Structure 1
Amino acid sequence: MFKDPNCGCCDHWADHVREGMDTEVAVTQSTDMLAVKDEHGVPARLRSCHTMIVDVYVIEGHVPAADIERLLAERPEGVRGLAVPGMPVGSPGMEMGDRTQPYQVIAFGDAGLSIFASYE
């Protein structure tokens, strides 16, 4: 996972992935996250605070671990990655009590953009 050294929610999200997927998450600090996102082809309108590479996929932002596992199991053709744009309250790593806002997990890649999952 690539993250800005000053971002705390990224650490909370990494904990969510560690627990939800029972895996290790290596963290690389970067002060140039725009370059990281450009290098990995994250569309500008889908960007968030951290970027993770899992197998051959790019995971951008506060994507739930269950959706990453589903992506790895299904391996949909033409999908390069998943993104949760912005930092929606209630998404993994952005918990604030019982406050939530609806958000979508967007699949992106050669197949274009599509809704992978929705959360209310």
Structure 2
Amino acid sequence: MTAVWSALAASPALTPIEVWKDPNCGCCKDWITLMEKAGFSATVHDSGNQAVRARLGLPQHLGSCHTAVVGGYLVEGHVPPADVRKLLQQKPKALGIVVAGMPVGSPGMDGPAYGGRKDPFDVLLVSKTGAGSEVTTRVFSSYRD
């Protein structure tokens, strides 16, 4: 029994992430699976994501099919798990990170149905400007191959 407790104590704690998605979206489920394999523990709400996205202040044009919150940051769309980790390590003053739309080849949009296709995409860091609801973006990570 001591060996079991030692193994449990040595394993890193899972990072909680809360996700809002459409109940019928397969690519959202695939993204959540990838996040869980990368050490996140997902709480999933199958209620859609438009209301939570609006509540968090993310403009519609930066939206995707699912919205997550982790460590106080918004994560929108098919963001690679490594970029979520990078965000949590760097702790920038920002609303969060997004992959707008649903680029083929991004995490969750990369299964066999896509035939190995990989479209280029950027992960954007989203920040609020001033006291208003305006946001600015800059490239956080770029995927071009």
Show the counterpart of 2:107. Answer: 92
Higher relative contact order (CA 8 A, sep 6+): 1
Instruction: Confirm whether residue 6 of structure 1 aligns to residue 16 of structure 2.
Output: no
Aligned to 1:28: 45
Counterpart residue number, 2:74: 58
1:82 maps to amino acid: I
RMSD (Å) for aligned C-alpha atoms: 1.1
Give the alignment partner of residue 102 of structure 1, picking from 91, 115, 120: 120
Distance apart, 1:72 and its partner CA: 0.3
With normalisation by structure 2, the TM-score equals 0.77
- Superposed displacement of residue 45, structure 1: 1.3
Identity over aligned pairs, percent:
43
Q: Which has the larger radius of gyration?
A: 2
**Gapped runs of 5+ residues in structure 1?**
none
Structure 1 length normalisation: TM-score? 0.92
After TM superposition, what 4+ stretches of structure 1 lie above 4 angstroms from structure 2?
A: none
Matched position secondary structure for 1:72: helix
Matching of residue 72 in structure 1 with residue 96 in structure 2: no
Residue-by-residue CA offset, 1:9-36 (whole Å, 9 max, x unaligned): 000000111112x1211111114x3212
Residue equivalent to 2:56: 40
